[in-house]
Structure 1
Amino acid sequence: MTNHTVNSPQFFLTAPSPCPYLDGQSERKVFTHLVGDKAPELNDLLTQGGFRRSQNIAYRPACETCRACVSVRILAGEFRATRSMRRIMAANTDLVATEYQAEPSSEQFRLFRRYLDSRHRRGGMADMTIGDYAMMVEDSHVDTRIIEYRVKQEGDGINEQPSGPLVGVALTDRMGDGLSMVYSFYNPDEQVRSLGTYMIVDHIERAAALGLPHVYLGYWVDGSRKMEYKVRFRPQEHLMAQGWQRYTD
């Protein structure tokens, strides 16, 4: 595969395909490869410009007639959890989060399959195999981590690795100005825990503790119920034609 420098990446445009978020719309994406020694620097620049990473590809929407997809980043240092978010965090004090190098496991894949089969049975990832999952995790030329969320067990404070049931996983890039949540999944049977919200707040707290100003959440799609949750984490900025703008209703 050809290595591209930060100064001269090559960009490509996909053919139109049905939009997964808005009925009756078509989507196109512009993308480039994230490979070589300069991949972390390029990933930072492109993420700040509204791109997302998937394996060694950075992409962003390039739809001809629609601008509904909007890049979102949370201002970690200013974030204040709502009352409902505080209740969720309090309800999950029995969880322990552990960060690892980006290495897949069969246990992660089993949870991943349960999540897809419950939440995204008809989505584009529905047919992913364990090999596909391993590629999603490992095929990265940037600083990527796996964060596992497990139920605490007796002795976890002593053992090097927590041994309790795995209930959530986040694939996360650490960048110069923040954390980017590439993909996360969780046990769909643990609805009372609101694990999706829990993991986002946990990432905000992690970014703030590291002195990083942002948590990148990907795209908010106005009009898509699947994406409504992203605007609940305030304050946040949206990438508009004028640059990153503070979001207000």
Structure 2
Amino acid sequence: MSGQQKNPDVFVSMPHPCSYLPGKTATTLFVDPRYPLNRDAYGYFTRLGFRRSGDLVYRPHCRDCNACIPVRIPVERFQPTRGQVRTWRKNADVCVIAQPARFVPEHFVLYQRYQAHRHPGGGMDDPDPRKYSGFLIGRCVETKFCELRIGQRLAAVTVIDQLNDGLSAVYTFFDPDDAARSLGTYAILWQIEEARRKRLPWVYLGYWIGASPKMTYKANFRPLEVYRDGHWGGL
């Protein structure tokens, strides 16, 4: 961060049920929500393993567990697997259109379908547009809602934050009827290519959690760097 900026306070939450590992209790570090973050400051915290949900910039900080490991892809060293190459080719007809971060009813309808199919009863299938916007849109960052369209049809939306040193993958949701296309994988492959086009060195993927089936897919993107003990290194 700029030397002219006062460092924000960082707080720790009360213990709460873990969102990723059933039966576990979690605590979270979060940056003072009153602090006026900009791209530089947000990027600084991202490099320290933080993520955002709406305007809340946070990082897991559990006393007896370190399962949530920040990960990022080094763009120039990335080597796709054969399966990822097949996924890229399978989706050659997909057109990606970057849109400003705003509420779009078409996006929200697709988001609801995705949540109802992939995470029923998980708390994210609430039909409240304000909660949806509060989850994906942040005031302190430059965010794009990138539409993945097949012809005129909206097949997926991948939400990314623009950083000075990379792209941060916030969330991707897709049409459950297109599961065979592996659009979640394709979205990450597209983010890598977009970062390469912009000459940005990193794609930040958030947290890899080896014991969580929903998070293990991130280890399929190699090489993958992890943030441990205050520095980034190989998985």
Aligned amino acid, residue 90 of structure 1: R
Contact kept, 8 Å, 1:76 with 1:215, in 2: the verdict is yes
Alpha-carbon distance between aligned partners in 2 of 1:177 and 1:42, rounded to the nearest angstrom: 12
* TM-score, with length taken from structure 1: 0.88
Aligned counterpart, 1:204 = 192
Alpha-carbon distance between aligned partners in 2 of 1:174 and 1:64, rounded to the nearest angstrom: 32
Aligned amino acid, residue 87 of structure 2: I
Out of 135-144 and 111-120, give the one that drifted further: 135-144
1:165 is aligned, of 148, 153, 158, to: 153
Alpha-carbon distance between aligned partners in 2 of 1:206 and 1:226, rounded to the nearest angstrom: 24
> What are the equivalent positions in structure 2 for 1:155-234 lying under 5 Å apart?
164-234=152-222
Alpha-carbon distance between aligned partners in 2 of 1:6 and 1:114, rounded to the nearest angstrom: 43
Deviation of 1:71 (Å): 0.2
Query: Alignment partner of 2:176: what SS?
Result: coil
Alpha-carbon distance between aligned partners in 2 of 1:113 and 1:101, rounded to the nearest angstrom: 20
Aligned counterpart, 2:85 = 86
Alpha-carbon distance between aligned partners in 2 of 1:184 and 1:6, rounded to the nearest angstrom: 33
Contact kept, 8 Å, 1:36 with 1:141, in 2: the verdict is no
Alpha-carbon distance between aligned partners in 2 of 1:101 and 1:35, rounded to the nearest angstrom: 24
Sequence identity, in percent? Answer: 38
Alpha-carbon distance between aligned partners in 2 of 1:140 and 1:180, rounded to the nearest angstrom: 15
Aligned amino acid, residue 132 of structure 1: K
Aligned counterpart, 1:119 = 118
User: CA RMSD for the aligned pairs?
Assistant: 1.6
Out of 226-235 and 37-46, give the one that drifted further: 37-46
Paired positions, count: 232
Query: Alignment partner of 1:219: what SS?
Result: strand
* TM-score, with length taken from structure 2: 0.93
Deviation of 1:139 (Å): 3.4
Deviation of 1:38 (Å): 4.4
Contact kept, 8 Å, 1:170 with 1:184, in 2: the verdict is yes
Out of 37-46 and 170-179, give the one that drifted further: 37-46
Deviation of 1:226 (Å): 1.2
Aligned amino acid, residue 204 of structure 1: I
Aligned counterpart, 1:130 = 129
Where structure 1 has 5 or more consecutive residues not aligned to the other structure, the ranges are 153-163
Where structure 2 has 5 or more consecutive residues not aligned to the other structure, the ranges are none
Query: Alignment partner of 1:212: what SS?
Result: coil
Aligned counterpart, 1:159 = none
Aligned counterpart, 1:155 = none
Aligned amino acid, residue 84 of structure 2: M
Aligned amino acid, residue 174 of structure 1: Q
Contact kept, 8 Å, 1:172 with 1:182, in 2: the verdict is yes
Aligned counterpart, 1:12 = 11
Alpha-carbon distance between aligned partners in 1 of 2:45 and 2:72, rounded to the nearest angstrom: 14
Contact kept, 8 Å, 2:53 with 2:136, in 1: the verdict is no
